[in-house]
Structure 1
Amino acid sequence: MAGATAWVVGYILTYAAAIGDVQASEDFESLEAATGEDLAVEMIGLLFFNAHNVPADAPQYSVLQALDPRHNFILAEGGSTLVLYAVPILVLLFAGAIVTRYTQTVRGSVTDAALTGSIVIVGYLPLVILGTFVFTVAPGEEAMAPNLLLSIGFAGTFYPLVFGAIGGVIAYFATRAPRNDSVSEPNST
């Protein structure tokens, strides 16, 4: 559940941060004109995948010829959109910490906390796979979509395992009470 929530929150944060830039982009306007559809949801989805270092596979015909075959909209735009790279990292750190804290694994070892935090993959990976099919832009025969193998490898596996585990470790150290190992002498009066 935490992984799925992290994915949805990450998408929403990406939407909130980038919708203005997307709608002002010339690439976006030409894609919408070529398809005749509102593509805001799909374009934000592609940006969210780009934030996981997953490029969009852009077939080289029609309007898509202007884009690289493996296009990353964040790198192409630069500037303030570069902050989008932090979105999946932060939501997965938070999700890993919440799962670890909620299951009280913080009382176990650091390894237990890391393994518990990485459980966010269970909810995150299925939504990543689904997103590769939902966030497509098809102005012709072929569609521009996130690269499936990189989506599964980076966005669906690497990111939740690594950053969920780090979030679990952060929760482990954040909730540990300082130990007082000194032995106190009884009062002698």
Structure 2
Amino acid sequence: MVDTDAKRAAGRGLAGGIAAWILGYLVVYVLHGTNIENSLGSQILEFLTGDAVTWKLVGWLFFNAHNVTVTVPGFLGESAWNFVAQSDEAALTALFVLPPALLILAGFAAAWNAADAPTTAARNGAAVVLGYLPLSVAGAVLFTIGSEDATAGPTLVTAVLLAGAVYPLLFGAVGGLAGGHLSAD
């Protein structure tokens, strides 16, 4: 019975993590994709690389919303940027709320009606890392722009550790506690 419950919780966590990551990226794309596509920076990057970059730049904002910087090469070396943190636009800085909110909801769903003890509920909620981490790793690699000589993209270690592991473990567990608590009532 315990193995079945653990497998079920892992499956819900996996599905919740995948759903939270994809939904988060899509929300950023819907809210900011057109502005990015029409920006001068995007058009220059597309000209220089010969590739469509809008979807990658949206990924940069998505990682920025997790407090992950983007490493950009320059004349004086690489620099790290967080376009969300450095913005004065409320619509852009509001993105900081998106990943925690989606992960709390995913953790809530993963633990709903599945845990008797708070520690089990938190563990079930934190299982969203099973879906969120692999997509964060893939996104950090896929959202890189450039060639072998010069690349720009999410800072890999921070993307994996912070966005891929810390965020889903922390916020998924918080959601799991809430889901486990409410389902026990």
Q: What TM-score bracket applies, with the shorter chain setting the length?
A: 0.7 to 0.9
SS of 2:74's partner is: coil
Alpha-carbon distance in 2 for matches of 1:37, 1:128: 22
User: CA contact under 8 A between 1:10 and 1:91: conserved in structure 2?
Assistant: yes
SS of 1:116's partner is: helix
SS of 2:160's partner is: helix
**For residue 180 of structure 1, what is the aligned residue in structure 2?**
none
**For residue 122 of structure 2, what is the aligned residue in structure 1?**
114
For the pair 1:70 / 2:80, whether they are aligned, the reply is yes
Determine which of 165, 174, 183 is the counterpart of 2:182: 174
Alpha-carbon distance in 2 for matches of 1:125, 1:44: 18
TM-score normalised by the chain length of structure 2: 0.83
Give percent identity, aligned residues only.
Answer: 31
SS of 2:31's partner is: helix
User: CA contact under 8 A between 1:31 and 1:139: conserved in structure 2?
Assistant: no
**For residue 137 of structure 1, what is the aligned residue in structure 2?**
145
For the pair 1:25 / 2:69, whether they are aligned, the reply is no
Q: Deviation of residue 166 (structure 1)?
A: 0.5
For the pair 1:52 / 2:62, whether they are aligned, the reply is no
For the pair 1:157 / 2:165, whether they are aligned, the reply is yes
**For residue 2 of structure 1, what is the aligned residue in structure 2?**
16
User: CA contact under 8 A between 2:33 and 2:55: conserved in structure 1?
Assistant: no
1:117 alignment partner AA:
G
User: CA contact under 8 A between 1:34 and 1:139: conserved in structure 2?
Assistant: no
**For residue 48 of structure 2, what is the aligned residue in structure 1?**
34
Instruction: Give 5+ residue unaligned stretches, structure 2.
Output: 1-14
Instruction: Give 5+ residue unaligned stretches, structure 1.
Output: 178-189
User: CA contact under 8 A between 1:56 and 1:145: conserved in structure 2?
Assistant: yes
Alpha-carbon distance in 2 for matches of 1:158, 1:124: 10
More deviation, 40-49/14-23: 14-23
Taking structure 1 as reference, are residues 83 and 68 closer, same or farther at Cα in structure 2, changes over 3 Å only? Answer: farther
1:136 alignment partner AA:
T
Q: Provide Cα deviations, 1:40-83, integer angstroms capped at 9, x if missing partner.
A: 1100111111111001111114xxx7x97101121343302111
**For residue 13 of structure 1, what is the aligned residue in structure 2?**
27
